[in-house]
Structure 1
């Protein structure tokens, strides 16, 4: 096995292919839509998916920031060599795609100010810190991880949804509905400005900002639009009542579905809630099984 080449191919797959459940949701949205402009927009989005998958071109010009989740069973090990190979394989995949050059040059301050320009090679865009997922995690998307499991999930996160995302405290007032209502209000506001609807919004609820965002990220990797919970469907129905519709054209489908991932909670008056309104090319996810 050439692991660098396998990782490169997985990055390309994540950038150019959407899963069957997302395609099913889009086709269903087209079938029920009676707004002519919204229906046209959905059909163009579907065509974009087919062209990207056939030609291996990116689904979007914003090819995204790589994020990695390692799913590991108790009989497997992660070495420093594997972590280095993940970084090298991602760089190879971004160069082979090719991704859009987005890595900023310079020291800490120069990178913030973007005063030194960009690297020409897409592969200079390093991934975010790697998350580890094991059978011990308690959350809505708890995994039945076998002892021999070693899966590497690669996600490509676009800038638009990150601009519209939010992580903040919510005073729960001993009411799940209050927490969920707050998250929906945030999403209603952000979806109006997203532009690239229909969305698949994600919500993570945890004890810290890191945990809530991690739960959100894992929902992007593990969520399934063909298997929505009652709570996820309630959020979807509410957000679709906004009438924003695909690309803001109105209609019935502002979101294709929702991911809601709830983790451990602590004795406190607040819950930390993270929301992210993914654009219509996301989640962009592919998995390498080792």
Structure 2
């Protein structure tokens, strides 16, 4: 029963708590901003964070879809019991939060049409399919996974960024810059429509749509604004030059930073790029070590 409570606590922590690196990025943005409207918006965002952490209220009314990444070392095992506990613990956490009811009732057609309404219980919302990360996975955000590692990362992904996300093919033309330029071009367009800026956009580049999106999710789980690569800094600078600013009101802080995760590639003229322009309450993540 303890693991269920531990998972529940992780869901609540992810929903209500701001990471240290993001808190520092927000305060730095406030200091650097000279646009009055942007300053007002950033201070409102800061107040929202502080109230959420003090009261254990969600950072946003859209409490998000749970996503799970399991890091596993070669000497550990994942049982069917553990997978069931993850599902049960998430349901418990969503109910204890409490999260916003978002689970749709009915069969396939009814769920698509949302014709039978919603479950009132927040815990009826199941997580997305679980991702497994091992020492064999190659990417920019490759983990140093020891043999006895068993870590469970919980992510809460909101609907607004999902609406503005995209996974698409890019003809690389043997140019890294061409792929990144395409990604930035899409982000410049989507951030204008997001509304909930500043963002921390994430980019995954892989061989398939599934792989590219998996790389993106791992970057969200593992990324840290205090440890940005040269390329992530370049993307951040380019996006901030758009002047979209906090809540679209203009200013210097359209994004706090970004995550770029590049995995294995295949012999092809195409690269698959997945992009998610996270809103200002994300990333909402928590870690459980077993």
Q: TM-score, normalised by structure 2?
A: 0.99
Aligned to 2:210: 210
> Structure 1, residues 97-128: CA drift from partner, whole Å, max 9, x if none?
00000000000011000000000000000000
In the alignment, does 2:14 pair up with 1:14? yes
Aligned to 2:222: 222
Aligned to 1:92: 92
Aligned to 2:116: 116
> Structure 1, residues 251-279: CA drift from partner, whole Å, max 9, x if none?
00000000000000000000000000000
> Structure 1, residues 220-270: CA drift from partner, whole Å, max 9, x if none?
000110010000000000000000000011000000000000000000000
> Secondary structure of 2:155's partner?
strand
Aligned to 1:234: 234
> Structure 1, residues 141-191: CA drift from partner, whole Å, max 9, x if none?
000011111110000000000000000100000000000000001000000
Report 1:254-269 matches (<5 A): 254-269=254-269
Give distance in 2, aligned partners of 1:287 and 1:189. Answer: 32
Alignment coverage as a number of residue pairs: 290
Structure 2 stretches of 5 or more lacking a match? none
Give the Å deviation of 1:18: 1.5
Give distance in 2, aligned partners of 1:158 and 1:275. Answer: 14
Aligned to 1:193: 193
Report 1:61-140 matches (<5 A): 61-140=61-140
> Secondary structure of 1:127's partner?
coil
| Aligned CA-pair RMSD | 0.6
Give distance in 2, aligned partners of 1:131 and 1:97. Answer: 24
Give the Å deviation of 1:74: 0.9
Give distance in 2, aligned partners of 1:173 and 1:110. Answer: 44
Give distance in 1, aligned partners of 2:161 and 2:43. Answer: 22
Give the Å deviation of 1:71: 0.6
- After TM superposition, the runs of 4+ consecutive aligned structure 1 residues lying more than 4 A away are none
Give distance in 1, aligned partners of 2:22 and 2:139. Answer: 23
Aligned to 2:283: 283
